[in-house]
Amino acid sequence: MYAAWEKRDSLLLSQVQFNEDLQKNYEAMKKFGIIKKDALYFLPPFEWYNDTIASWTHQQGLQLINYSPGTISHADYTWPELKNYKSSEDILASIRKYATNSKQGLNGFILLIHIGVDPKRTDKLYNYLPQLIQWLQQKGYHAKRVDELLK
């Protein structure tokens, strides 16, 4: 985490540490053939940041992004013993409800779905991706990569 939950404007690291963290991430991605010019969008850990983190991100030549609010797609990290647990069906229902009830639907929407979640969560949302994608396509939506969406 870069900023405290309780006091968002309180940083938990220095700019040097932030830059080192970014560099370590690019080094890890390089093992998979991903270099910085191919990954210019940055989603902060826990999707939590403040103005300083946004500024440091910009100084690194990156665009800070976050998921679109309105659904609970990001709650797929939870597991049943947590008080804020959301099942995959709850999450999918929130996506369908937002798509149906919002004036713009999911146009331009960024859904956050985690690939790596705690082993205690056996109800993995990513296992429902084919079903979700099919439903979205039936509703006329077309998936785009973040870089294509934000051009």
The predicted model scores a pTM of 0.85
Question: Looking at 1-151, which runs of residues are DSSP E strands?
Answer: 41-42, 63-64
In a domain, 8, yes or no: no
Judgement on whether residues 51 and 96 belong to the same structural domain of the protein? no
Q: Judge if 79 and 141 occupy the same domain.
A: yes
Give the domain range for residue 26: 15-64
Domain final residue pick, 25, 46, 64? 64
- From residue 21, alpha-carbon distances to 5, 17, 120, 141 in Å are 19, 6, 27, 35
Query: Does residue 79 fall inside a structural domain?
Result: yes
Please report how the helices 51-59 and 15-30 are oriented relative to each other, as an axis angle in degrees rounded to 10: 50
Q: What is the pLDDT of residue 149?
A: 87
Q: Express each pLDDT in 51-103 by its tens digit.
A: 999 999 999 999 999 999 999 999 999 999 999 999 999 999 999 999 999 99
Count the domains in the chain. Answer: 2
If asked whether residues 50 and 82 sit together in one domain, one would say no
Are 54 and 81 within one domain? no
